[in-house]
Each structure stands twice: as C-alpha cells, then as structure tokens.
Amino acid sequence: MKIGNLLEQVREKKPLVHHITNYVTVNDCANVTLGIGASPVMADAIEEAADISAISSAVVLNIGTLNERKNQSMIAAGKSANAKGIPVVLDPVGVGASKFRNDTVARLIDEVKLTVLRGNISEIKFMAGLDAETKGVDASESDTVNVDDAGQIAKGLAKKLNCVVVISGATDIVSDGNKIVYIENGHQMLGNLTGTGCMCSSLIGSFCGALPEDSLYATVAAMVCMGTAGEIAYEKVGHLGGGSFHVVLHDAISKMDAETFERRAKFHEAS
Amino acid sequence: MKIGNLLEQVREKKPLVHHITNYVTVNDCANVTLGIGASPVMADAIEEAADISAISSAVVLNIGTLNERKNQSMIAAGKSANAKGIPVVLDPVGVGASKFRNDTVARLIDEVKLTVLRGNISEIKFMAGLDAETKGVDASESDTVNVDDAGQIAKGLAKKLNCVVVISGATDIVSDGNKIVYIENGHQMLGNLTGTGCMCSSLIGSFCGALPEDSLYATVAAMVCMGTAGEIAYEKVGHLGGGSFHVVLHDAISKMDAETFERRAKFHEAS
Amino acid sequence: MKIGNLLEQVREKKPLVHHITNYVTVNDCANVTLGIGASPVMADAIEEAADISAISSAVVLNIGTLNERKNQSMIAAGKSANAKGIPVVLDPVGVGASKFRNDTVARLIDEVKLTVLRGNISEIKFMAGLDAETKGVDASESDTVNVDDAGQIAKGLAKKLNCVVVISGATDIVSDGNKIVYIENGHQMLGNLTGTGCMCSSLIGSFCGALPEDSLYATVAAMVCMGTAGEIAYEKVGHLGGGSFHVVLHDAISKMDAETFERRAKFHEAS
C-alpha cells in the first residue's frame, strides 16, 4: 500500500464530512477538513441531522460539549449514515468523567454501528470496561500503559465493537480487531493544543469518506497525517510557542503532499 | 464615490453589530468586526435578541448552525431591527441542503425585511427559485454560471426581495435590483478557509451599520475589503499554507487603510 | 511574594478548570488554559455541570452567549463548586446591555458564592449599582473613570460581595475589599482582539485552581500574565496586525517563564 495515494484520493474525491461536534474546537475541525481536501458541514439540529448525513460521505460524532438535544441528533445522524452505508466516526470526548457522558456513549454504540472509534488512552480504557481515571478531556497519566498492552486493548475493543479503534498518544494505535498498526509520527506539542484529538477525528472522517472500503488504512493515513503535520510544525516553529505551532499545523495539513506523506510516515503492523 | 472614505466612516463611527450566527466561524466574525473598526456582540437567546438588536447599528443573521431556538431569536432580532430602521444582513448558509434550512429561510424573508442577502452561487440560485445542487455549505461546481448570468440572477432576486443581493465567488456580484457591481478582488485561497463567507457578512454588517443610507456601496466596500485582504494575505504568505493565510487575512483587515483600499479596489458597474 | 513562583505552581499542579462559557471565544480560553499549564474542560449540560465541577480545581462562569439552559447549568456548577470549596470565577460579559443579562447575573450572585468577579469598567460599574452605559460587550468610553475612583469602586464591590473584584482596562485593578492592586502591564491591542477578557478569566481560574488559598495574588498573577503576554506580542508583531498579535499572544503565554514574569510584572498596592 502506498499511503501517499490515499491522500491523493481525498483531494480528488473531496468528500462531504458531516460533523456533529463540540463548539470548542469546531473551527479547527472545519479547517483541517478543508485543508486535507474534503468539505465540512456542521449541522446539529434534530430537524436536519439525518438529512445532512444522508447527503454526506462520512459522519463525525464528537461529544465534547454534549447536551440532550445534540445527543438525539447524533443518534439520528448515525442511523441515517448506517442506512446508507456511510462511515461513522465517534470521538467519545471525556467519557468516564460524568454519568451523562457514559450514558450518552452507551446509547450511541447501542443504536449506531460505528466505523471508527477514536479516543485517548483514558477514554478507550473506559470504553473497554477497564479501570480508567478520566480527568476531564485529557488523558490521565495514571492510565498510561505500555504500547503492547495498549495494542491489545485496542484490538480487543475493535473485535467487540466490530469497528476500527484508535488510541491517540505518543504512539498512535489503530486496530480493526485483527491487525494492529503502531504509528510513531507526532510530537508532544500536539497534546498542549486543544482540539488535536478532535482534528484527528475530522481527518479520519475525511479519509474514510474518500476510502469507505478500507477504513483501517484510511484511519492509519489520517493519524499519520496529523502526526506528520505536528512534526513539521514543531520543526518550523516549536520554539516560538503554542500559537505559532497551531498556525503551522494548519499550514502543514493544507500543504501536505503525497511524497512528503510517504517519506515521513512511520508505522508498522503486528497482530 | 471614494471607496476609501467608506472605510474611514466605519473606523470613526464604530458601529455595534449584533450577530446571531453559527458556532463554527463566530470567533473569526468577531475579530473581523473588531479589525475593521466596528464592535461585535453575539447574543442569540430569545430573552434578549430583540433588546440587543434595538441598541445595535446593524444585525447579521447567519443560519450556519441553525436550530429552532435560534431561528426564533433571528426573527425577533430582525423584527426589532426593522422597527428601528436598523440594517439587517442575512447569510443563508447551506440553504438548499435540507428542508429545515429552506423552511427557516422562507420564514425569515417572510417576516423580516432584509437590507442585504449574501450567499454563494448555489445558495443564491436556490433562493432565486432556480435549479441548484447545494452540497453542504460550499458552492457546488455544477452550479457555476457565467458572470453575466450571475449578475442577472442577483439583480432579479434583489428586485424581488427589494434588498441588496451579493453572490460571493471568483467575481463577487452586488446588485440592488437596479445597478450590478462586479468586483474582481480576492483570491481562491479564501475558498479553502472556513468562514470567509461569514466574515464577508460581518464586514457587510459593519459597513452598513456605519453607512445605513447607502447599503449598495457599503456592501461593495465590504466585499472589496475581504477581497483585498485575501490578495494581501496570499501575496505575503500564500505559499506557506492555510494557517498562515488565515492569520495574515486578519492582519490585512485590521491594518487596512483608505489609501490601500482605494488603490487596490477593482470593481465596475453595469445594469 | 515572588510572583514568578505562582506561575510555577500552576505548571506543577496542572489544575482542571471547568468552564461554562460562550461559544465566541471558547477556543482561545481552552488554549490559554493549556498554555499556562492547566487543563480545560468545557461542559454546559445541566445533566453533568455539577458532576464536572465537583472533580475540577476551579470553575469559570462566563455569560457571553447565555441562554436559559446554560444559566441553570452555571448555577448548578457554581453550587457544586461552593459545596466543595472550589474557587468560582464569574465573567459578567455585557451585563447592563439587556434585562436578561442583568437578571442572570443577579440570580448567579444570589445563589453562588463567588471567589473572583472580573469585568470591564462598564460591567463593574453596573454591578456596583452605578450609572453605566454598557454598549454591547466592550467598555463604553463614557464609563471611563480615573484610576483611583476605579480602585474604590472595585474595593467597595469586593467588600459587598466578599470576593475579589477585577476591573480590566489600561490599568488593571484587583481588590479583595481590603487591598487594591494596580497593574500597569498590557497593551491597547488587547482591546482590539475578541476574547482577551474571557482569556483573563480563564487564567484567573487556572491560577486560583492552583492557589485556592490566595485568590487575591492568584488573580493579580493571572492579570499580570495576560498583560505581559500582550506586551511581548505587541513588541514582536504588533506592527503586522491583529491576526499575528493573536498568535503571538498564545506563544507568549505558553512560553512564559518565572524569570520573565517576575522581571516584567508592574504592579503596586494601595488600600
């Protein structure tokens, strides 16, 4: 597989990616979606959520700033996508931090068939039914496990939910329940910028929207894309601080080309 | 008419511009409003929408992330502005993409007298009752028409709604139903950044708030302003990517002066 | 007191700061919270507001884009914080501009014990029961008073509400009802960027979350931090415009170190 080709597919097909997402990082989500070559639409009203999903190529559900009204729209959008065979990405932001988040995610995975689930280690451990000490929306240090254990957690949950599972972290892990892909791209400054997780989910939606038949590698490509952009941003302006890093991260995504992507990608598979 | 003078009027009068707008691009809308010299206020609760409009110099209604609650506030704000003779700008984001958007816009134009309506070609074609293939919130390529036809569409709709109509695109078109103004400023990178349409609507609100007696040229000035800022941003940092372009677009708006504005403006009139 | 030490305390303790805030400036609030070394969580649903506050180290309530649903969540979050002795910061954005804002703030201070109240001179004058001509969310020029009078207004209101009161302006004023601290850091470009007030409130939440036993100097440190970052941003890129200033403001906060902080801080006390 030439991972650079996957990027070219996104730019060529320009998939419409419907987001029901939080208001904290939504602007960044829209801009990375445009930056990678897809087209974002954000529509969370129950009166149109299903209609917009039905004309989209992928649906991204993000519970960052959830409320009962949005939750119903997420279910309606997810079901509408399921009915049409459109990929659905779930970002269970902060699950474990409140009963309301836990109940919302439980309803979502009960009613909607996911294509990809992406979270940090605290969120994915919680989803896997393991002890997790979720502290707000950032991964808790006490939840850190070694990379091999994380791989098995992702694989087990992927098998259980019959979808691709991603654990974002120093090493990103992607599993479809069969293969496990370990991605070594990225930089720790990504963890000091709000929304880099949400932006990963938008990129996953963009790649899956263009490549619905291969959600495992579409997801790997999306994670490599964010990791590589983080490395480029760090190399160029990391010394200046978080504001410049934020700007150049968007530069790097919008200027990403197949050759750079291919050359910088660092991942390997196991099972 | 010296278009540079219009800019000076905004900076001098500092109009308060009430926005009921989407949560995707609202920060950029607030910052361009401040950048051009006006003062933004965002208030969408039904309990205060009419009160805030009544103390403002212009009202901008944007349906990007609409919901039933906000729709009622938009109508209340619009009626309040109408009662006081305050200009009302409508940005019908994504109209045509769902029945809910279509119904919302129909109610708005039924209950509120607009001063300016601004959209992309897909949105304006839909509003004019023509075949349009709205795909999310971006203009659909299949909706592209030649510039003269677009001018006639804008003029016809302006006459019908008795307001100024703007079609944003490679050539921006502004008509009051009598004159048609074609604006050649701008750069295609504006189309790869989320919210540049919304920001145009905020600038239109800012100029109309300062120049309520001349909504046609206030609107032309606003569109020239965004186009010129886009050109400057492209010239300075377009090669770096979308993040830097975004930043320098705000720089250019906040540093815009009457002389640069006058010198760079490229527009001509027809009928 | 070494003010640089307070900064180190934030970076060491990484307090979780729960925000119920507006959707205009929320991304900037999250990023300054991360930049200074704390961890933001934004959760405004009534179903979880109290739960999230209970696991946080500080709560920031901001009425920028209030609505009845959020208002109830703010009260629930504030009460939950009060019950646990967690600091509560209130930013009464635009109070005075509508009856709804006034009523909301009255209910909040009636039901929730505040630790810090931060506003511009128009907002604080209104809260103190003085004549104020609030024009939207920016301070009105006609409300300007001399620095000594402002100090007395802050002190009187602090005594009345039994909390720390901050008036943001060219000179920032902080009083606990006993001491008055005058801070001379800052730059006027901060007033041309949306959200710098909201960001101050996030920094106050971050410092108070790390230093709950000393809300006066925690608040002074937060205001010095924003002022100093504004000076650095102006020195580096002020000539370029508002977009670059915005970026470098975030750089300066994320790169702030105890030595720079200590050296640049300009404040003095009176009573």
Considering only CB atoms, which chain B residues are within 8 Å of A30? 24-25, 194-195
Q: What is the pLDDT of residues C192-219, one digit of tens each?
A: 999 999 999 999 999 999 999 999 999 9
Residue C76 has pLDDT above 90, yes or no: yes
How far is it, in rounded angstroms, from Cα B173 to Cα B150?
8
Q: How far is CA A21 from CA A87, C179, C186, in A?
A: 16, 44, 35
Q: What is the ipTM of this complex?
A: 0.96
Residue C137 has pLDDT above 90, yes or no: no
Residue C21 has pLDDT above 70, yes or no: yes
Contact A182, A155 (CB under 8 A): no
Considering only CB atoms, which chain C residues are within 8 Å of B247? 243-244, 246-247
The predicted pLDDT at position C144 comes to 80
The predicted pLDDT at position C262 comes to 93
The burial class, CB within 10 Å (0-12 / 13-18 / 19+), for C141 is exposed
Nearest to C23 among B26, B40, B52 (CB): B26
The predicted pLDDT at position C39 comes to 97
Question: What's the gap in Å between the CA of C137 and the closest CA on chain B?
Answer: 6
Considering only CB atoms, which chain A residues are within 8 Å of C62? none
Interface with chain A: mutation pick from B44, B72, B98, highest number of A CBs within 10 Å: B98
Q: What is the pLDDT of residues A246-267, one digit of tens each?
A: 999 999 999 999 999 999 999 9
Per the structure block, which two tokens stand in for C259?
């030595």
Question: What's the gap in Å between the CA of A248 and the closest CA on chain B?
Answer: 6
Contact A30, B24 (CB under 8 A): yes
In terms of residues, how long is chain C?
A: 271
Residue B1 has pLDDT above 70, yes or no: no
Mean pLDDT throughout C177-206?
98
How far is it, in rounded angstroms, from Cα A50 to Cα B100?
11
The burial class, CB within 10 Å (0-12 / 13-18 / 19+), for A105 is buried
Residue that is written with structure tokens 């939606």 in the block: A205
Nearest to C248 among A22, A28, A243 (CB): A243
- B166 has which bridge partners? B118, B174
The predicted pLDDT at position C1 comes to 64
What is the DSSP-derived secondary structure letter of residue B169? S
pLDDT band (50, 70, 90) for residue C155: very high
Residue B62 has pLDDT above 70, yes or no: yes
Nearest to C41 among A67, A136, A242 (CB): A136
Q: What is the pLDDT of residues C112-134, one digit of tens each?
A: 999 999 999 999 999 999 987 77
Contact A256, A268 (CB under 8 A): no
- Lowest-confidence range among B102-106, B239-243, C135-139? C135-139
Share of chain A above pLDDT 70, in %: 99
Give residue ranges of C with CB < 8 Å to any B CB: 22-25, 27-28, 64-68, 94, 97-101, 135-138, 192-195, 240-244, 246-247
Contact B241 A249 (CB under 8 A): no
pLDDT band (50, 70, 90) for residue C255: very high
How far is it, in rounded angstroms, from Cα B210 to Cα B187?
26
How far is it, in rounded angstroms, from Cα C98 to Cα C110?
18
Contact C242 B34 (CB under 8 A): yes
Residue C101 has pLDDT above 90, yes or no: yes
Mean pLDDT throughout C55-68?
97
Contact A43 B98 (CB under 8 A): yes
Question: What's the gap in Å between the CA of A232 and the closest CA on chain C?
Answer: 17
How far is it, in rounded angstroms, from Cα C217 to Cα C198?
19
Give residue ranges of C with CB < 8 Å to any A CB: 16, 18, 23, 26-27, 30-31, 34-35, 39-45, 47-48, 51-52, 55-56, 69, 246-255
B225, amino acid identity: C
Per the structure block, which two tokens stand in for A40?
């974002």
What do you get for the CA distance between the two ends of chain C, in Å?
A: 18
How far is it, in rounded angstroms, from Cα A205 to Cα A208?
5
Residue A1 has pLDDT above 70, yes or no: no
Q: What is the pLDDT of residues B129-167, one digit of tens each?
A: 998 777 677 777 777 889 999 999 999 999 999 999 999
pLDDT band (50, 70, 90) for residue C139: confident
How far is it, in rounded angstroms, from Cα C122 to Cα C229?
24
Report the 3 state secondary structure along C5-63.
HHHHHHHHHCCEEEEECCCCCHHHHHHHHHHCCCEEEECCCCCCHHHHHHCCCEEEEEC
The predicted pLDDT at position A63 comes to 98
Nearest to B242 among A16, A52, A254 (CB): A254
Contact B242 A252 (CB under 8 A): no
Considering only CB atoms, which chain A residues are within 8 Å of C24? none
- Mean of the per-residue pLDDT values for chain B? 96
Question: What's the gap in Å between the CA of B13 and the closest CA on chain A?
Answer: 30
The predicted pLDDT at position A23 comes to 97
How far is it, in rounded angstroms, from Cα B185 to Cα B164?
19
The predicted pLDDT at position A2 comes to 82
Instruction: For residue B248, give the chain A residue with the closest CA.
Output: A247
In terms of residues, how long is chain B?
A: 271
Contact A254, B243 (CB under 8 A): yes
- B269 has which bridge partners? B181
Interface with chain A: mutation pick from B31, B42, B67, highest number of A CBs within 10 Å: B67
Q: What is the pLDDT of residues A152-161, one digit of tens each?
A: 999 999 999 9
Per the structure block, which two tokens stand in for B112?
């509120």
Considering only CB atoms, which chain A residues are within 8 Å of C30? 24-25, 194-195
Residue A110 backbone dihedrals phi, psi, to 5 degrees: -75, -40
Residue A96 has pLDDT above 70, yes or no: yes
Q: What is the pLDDT of residues A188-243, one digit of tens each?
A: 999 999 999 999 999 999 999 999 999 999 999 999 999 999 999 999 999 999 99
How far is it, in rounded angstroms, from Cα C119 to Cα C139?
9
The predicted pLDDT at position B68 comes to 96
Residue C89 has pLDDT above 80, yes or no: yes
The predicted pLDDT at position A233 comes to 98
Instruction: For residue C70, give the chain A residue with the closest CA.
Output: A67
